[in-house]
Amino acid sequence: MKTKYTKMHSNGNEFLITEDIKQTANTKKLADKKNGIGFDQLLCIKNKKPYEVLVFNSDGSEADNCINGLRCIAFLYSLNNEAVYIKDKKFVVRSTESGAEVSGAFPVVNKKNNYYVINFGNNHIAREYPDIEIINLESEYIKLRSSKEFEEIKNFNLSIYKNSKNNIAIRTYENGTGETLSCGSATISVAYALLKDTNKNELLFASKGGKTKVLIDNESITSKANAVILKEGFLHG
């Protein structure tokens, strides 16, 4: 039996999108860049009324959130002010000509020494550095994973950023995947941590994959970025 898939990216963050839930068991094999299709996360459309999405990292583990993935789904299905759920977390998506907007409830932010600790459905740890390009992000992630200071925070993503007049350069190491060219939930998490104590309501982020605009109002936080269809094909089995 063949089932259709679509491979997409948002700011270089790559996804395989399928409606065949059986393919979630094959995530690790399909994600292999040499022998499979190659992607950062697999997105499975579980239901459409309302939309429910399952997210699996390239190592086969299930993820709790994926903003760039929701952006791609919104663009692919031309969704407009549609509710989409990942587990029990609700988002509202709006497709645009070149991408999509994703809105959600505010993250929960705490400060621990020099780090922000943020929950946005998934866990994030973030810290500002004067030069993010010289940091070995994988080594920093491994160090924090094994530290007693953060032992109670499970399956977190690590972001490092540099704030220059509200233009934020950011890199993210994602749990279960590694460093990606962009991470939507990390961008929103860092944005809220920086915006919540200021009078500003907008920030622009630049990752290795591209730019994301984040806006905050009284009720929600929204990210805007591109979404691109890379290819379509069929999965067997």
Rounded CA-CA distance 73/84 in Å is 9
Q: Give tens-digit pLDDT for 88-108.
A: 999 999 999 999 999 999 999
User: Which pLDDT band, with edges at 50, 70 and 90, does 202 fall under?
Assistant: very high
Q: Give tens-digit pLDDT for 106-135.
A: 999 999 999 999 999 999 999 999 999 999
Residue 166 has what pLDDT? 78
- Neighbouring C-alpha atoms within 13 Å toward the C-beta of 203: 29
Q: Which of the residues are catalytic? A: 66
Q: Mean pLDDT across the stretch 148-176?
A: 94
Burial class (CB in 10 A: 0-12, 13-18, 19+), 96: middle
Domains 2-101+226-236 and 108-224 share a fold: yes
Residue 237 has what pLDDT? 65
CB contact set of 79 (below 8 Å; sequence gap of 6+): 51, 73, 93, 94, 95, 100
CATH topology of domain 2-101+226-236: Diaminopimelate Epimerase; Chain A, domain 1 (3.10.310)
CATH topology of domain 108-224: Diaminopimelate Epimerase; Chain A, domain 1 (3.10.310)
Rounded CA-CA distance 178/157 in Å is 9
Q: For residue 37, give both structure tokens.
A: 């299709």
Write down the pTM of the prediction: 0.95
Residue 1 scores a pLDDT above 80? no
Residue 103 has what pLDDT? 98
Give me the residue spans of the domains in the chain.
2-101+226-236, 108-224
Q: Give tens-digit pLDDT for 21-53.
A: 999 999 999 999 999 999 999 999 999 989 999
